[in-house]
Structure 1
């Protein structure tokens, strides 16, 4: 259940899972702080949700890959007199490449968004939640968090960090009334695959193409798990089975399997 005066800050809110979560939370009556680089798309979404649900929707354009992005975002929230009750660290991206050939700028920005910004924002907004005695954090990880990922080595590693970090901090909060949830979807029907150039991979092509979860389903699973205070939520029955199976495999075997599945497809 969402407190009637709750405000949710959502990163990566301009599209995909972040936008779907914004819509779901607005329907529950939560006020919103929508964060992404695309200010125009954020403003259109904010106006729509404010009109439909009567909630306050604040737009803050920010590039979380930039240095000190977390501090600048926190300062902007405070200047506007807002308090964050629900923090949803959804922003993130991947890249498909052999690590030794992957663009170094892309690697740095991926770690900055997927790991550094997520960690920094959680540290910045969690203490005030503790003082108020209520709050929730939802970190979007991935089923990639459970296995090594050749050809997407950095992306898989960042999601493993998100899962481990979320579980650890959630345990630290036991008995406080607060919680941290790690949402672990598999492939989702968003623009992520195109941005990560996954069309080159067998994983997303031909007969080996996996069924994609829709963003509304993933958003529902994530928001509901967050509100329950659930530590980890794997989205989708097939993904739950897959995660359980990979946990039983030796890590080296899992790495070789993923290398085969994600190998570049032949033209």
Structure 2
């Protein structure tokens, strides 16, 4: 099993769950996020539950110097990188602050690109490693700028897995649908007000477990749950107008 895993956006939600499940598999973990107190709490729980070594690296990935510290840690060598940091915006692009849109683009695309670029050389030199990019089923459909950035992650992961997989480094895009985390609350939507049917929700535990299984098998894409696999398949057969209208439901 892996020796060291670095997880971004690890203070809550999918990031914390990735860290927990990797630690349960025997990995030491490096937790990266902006909130020192939240990271410390996650680290304490992981140490208590699994007895693994946990480092906390407080960093804003949109700050060049702070992200540089994360890049340096990756260049020193890790066995798993999980690019999970991200946030959502309102689908009404014409109403959003363009500065927020640029931050959104940079965090989901530029930060993931830079961290992957920092981790790859040592992984390739060692002949092994796993990179997990947390994307979304939104990346398969036209769904605002969130779908666009996640689409980039999916395309990049598919390409990189073909190129680097034969050299021992798998690159996997994990593409969940709606997941019970704090993601929607940060958009100002209390539980039950997201406009999502109950049957469409996934748990973080399921998403991460299936994502890590796909990465271990060297797959380029993981879409947790049969219902979302079917939705993605059907969306490819429908006109854009129909898909955009359907994808606009929920937040």
User: Quick check: 2:8–2:85 contact (8 Å CA) kept in 1?
Assistant: yes
Q: Pairwise mapping of residues 68-79 of structure 1 onto structure 2 (< 5 A)?
A: 68-76=65-73
Give the drift of 1:117.
Answer: 0.4
Post-superposition Cα deviations, 1:80-104, rounded to whole Å, max 9, x if no partner, equal xx52110000111111141111012
Q: Is 2:60 the counterpart of 1:57?
A: no
Question: Partners in 1 of 2:87 and 2:234 — Cα distance?
Answer: 25
Post-superposition Cα deviations, 1:113-138, rounded to whole Å, max 9, x if no partner, equal 11110111001111110000010000
Q: Is 2:162 the counterpart of 1:165?
A: no
Q: Is 2:56 the counterpart of 1:67?
A: no
Q: Residue 244 of structure 1 corresponds to which residue in structure 2?
A: 233
User: Quick check: 1:187–1:210 contact (8 Å CA) kept in 2?
Assistant: no
The worse-fitting range, judged by mean Cα deviation, of 26-35 and 221-230 is 221-230
Match of 2:195 among 202, 205, 223: 205
Rg bigger for which structure?
1
Question: Partners in 2 of 1:48 and 1:209 — Cα distance?
Answer: 30
Give the RMSD, CA atoms, in angstroms. Answer: 2.2
Q: Is 2:38 the counterpart of 1:41?
A: yes
Equivalent residues, number:
251
Question: Partners in 2 of 1:198 and 1:148 — Cα distance?
Answer: 22
The DSSP-based 3-state class of the residue aligned with 2:200 is coil
What is the TM-score when the length of structure 2 is the normalising length? 0.92
Question: Partners in 2 of 1:26 and 1:173 — Cα distance?
Answer: 25
The DSSP-based 3-state class of the residue aligned with 2:61 is coil
Question: Partners in 2 of 1:24 and 1:177 — Cα distance?
Answer: 22
The DSSP-based 3-state class of the residue aligned with 1:230 is coil
Give the drift of 1:68.
Answer: 5.0
Q: Residue 244 of structure 2 corresponds to which residue in structure 1?
A: 255
User: Quick check: 1:9–1:33 contact (8 Å CA) kept in 2?
Assistant: yes
Question: Partners in 2 of 1:168 and 1:41 — Cα distance?
Answer: 34
User: Quick check: 1:179–1:230 contact (8 Å CA) kept in 2?
Assistant: yes
User: Quick check: 1:8–1:33 contact (8 Å CA) kept in 2?
Assistant: yes
Gaps of 5+ in 2: none
